[in-house]
Amino acid sequence: MYKAAADQLEAIPAHGPEFDSVDYYNCYLKLYHTMAQTAMAGPLQREYRRLKGLYRDSVLLVVDRNRLTCTLMRHDKRYEEGGDPQESIRELNAFFSRNDNSTPNKAVIANSLADAYGRLGDDEQRLRYLTLTAIYDLEVPSLAYSALPRLADLLFRRGDLVRANRYITRSLDDAIDCNSVNRILIASRTMTEINQSFMQEIARHQHRLYLLLAVVTGTILLLTGILVFTLRQKRTIKQLQTQHANDNERLRELNERLSVINRQQETINDELSKANTVKDKYIRHYMQLSTLYINKLERFRVQLFKTFNTHGLDRLLRELRSPSSTEREYKAFFNEFDTVFLSIYPDFIEQVNALLHETERLKSTKLNTEFRLLAVIRLGITDNAQIAQFLHISINTVYTYRNRLRNAATIPPQEFEKRILEIR
């Protein structure tokens, strides 16, 4: 294939009005550049690179210095001969920033900038311009591109194996579709390296899997050892149980002592029950005092009203320095009562809800009036008048609430309040 291309170039007459020396030398340059890429490392590859350099110098001799071709040739010369890449970047950027560039020209400039930044060691800029080159290449309706394989190789060097494999696979497929032997060889080399890295990664995962398997196996062996040890201990315990059969008499004596201790425990439980009774008594006493206090506040309010009617507003204002509201006092009292009661019976709401149908259960963590009525019953206050006085509601309301709660219970109504009194 390369011999045929060389023969065709040699058949072109190097004279005449249609002869373009720049294109002629540039074709030879591309030919030897491609041959150097595909040749094995050695004397033949060095010879192809030398010939490429000669034709590049020939292009530089005849090309207009203001043309993009001249800038690209100078960059290629600096790149291969170790020149200053900053100079190439400056010249290439001048062309890259122009608005009249075609997409193929932008691809060539971006590719050369990627080479220049690569020579500087700036991998970020190199990656950026290789990416731009690949984008420009894919915008052109041609499968003959070279940036995507180089981008895949760079990503591979940076450890991004997934994207590198995806790009090189696409490049190899396109190279096969357009029957480009050169690009097939280049893509195949990169794909081989990527596949080797994948195989190494798989080997590392397998190594970790083997280590995990070894740990699991060790754990199983350890558990087996523990099981064997447990079975032996079980046999030992059985032997000890047989030996301890002779100690039954002593155990009987110990049981008698335990009976004495149990009776003492029952006595302690009785004392605790009495203490609970005392606790309930003091809670009732506390409620009665609080209710009496609220009633006194009510009477005080009536007295203030009488003072106003009898002595007028001035006298009332002198006595009424800071106004108080009966409802506010009741609300504060009920909040205090709820806090104290629920601290003594923290599961009260949950246990009452268990006795009620779903629609009648209290969803809040605080007592409402109906549950507060049940709390008063739990404290032993069952008289409707006392409950009404405590809750500051009418006797009829107390009667209505109690009947409604009995009927809402999941147990027989006559058992409901008995179960309330059993809540601990």
Quick one: pLDDT at residue 16?
Answer: 59
Handedness of CA 401, 403, 408, 411 (dihedral sign): positive
Closest C-alpha among 153, 160, 161, 159 to residue 188: 153
Quick one: pLDDT at residue 357?
Answer: 92
- Say if pTM beats, i.e. exceeds, 0.75: no
Instruction: Using DSSP, state whether 79 is helix, strand or coil.
Output: helix
Phi, psi for 342 (deg, rounded to 5): -70, -20
Q: Is the pLDDT of residue 323 over 60?
A: no
Whole-angstrom distance, CA of residue 163 vs CA of residue 233: 59
Whole-angstrom distance, CA of residue 358 vs CA of residue 355: 9
- Residue pointed to by tokens 């894919």: 138
Mean pLDDT taken over the chain: 80
Whole-angstrom distance, CA of residue 126 vs CA of residue 167: 17
Give the confidence band of 416 by pLDDT, cuts at 50, 70, 90.
Answer: very high
HSE-up of residue 53 (Cα within 13 Å, Cβ side):
11
Q: Is the pLDDT of residue 70 over 60?
A: yes
Whole-angstrom distance, CA of residue 155 vs CA of residue 354: 66
Q: Beta-strand (E) ranges in 195-318? A: none
Give the confidence band of 238 by pLDDT, cuts at 50, 70, 90.
Answer: confident
Quick one: pLDDT at residue 143?
Answer: 67
* Every domain of the chain and the residues it spans: 2-200, 279-421
pLDDT in tens, 99-133: 777 887 888 888 888 888 888 888 888 888 888 88
Whole-angstrom distance, CA of residue 388 vs CA of residue 220: 70
Whole-angstrom distance, CA of residue 206 vs CA of residue 228: 32
DSSP string spanning 206-248? Answer: HHHHHHHHHHHHHHHHHHHHHHHHHHHHHHHHHHHHHHGGGGH
- What is the CATH class of 2-200? mainly alpha
Q: Is the pLDDT of residue 321 over 70?
A: no
Closest C-alpha among 396, 37, 372 to residue 189: 37
Give the confidence band of 247 by pLDDT, cuts at 50, 70, 90.
Answer: confident
Higher pLDDT, 350 or 150: 350
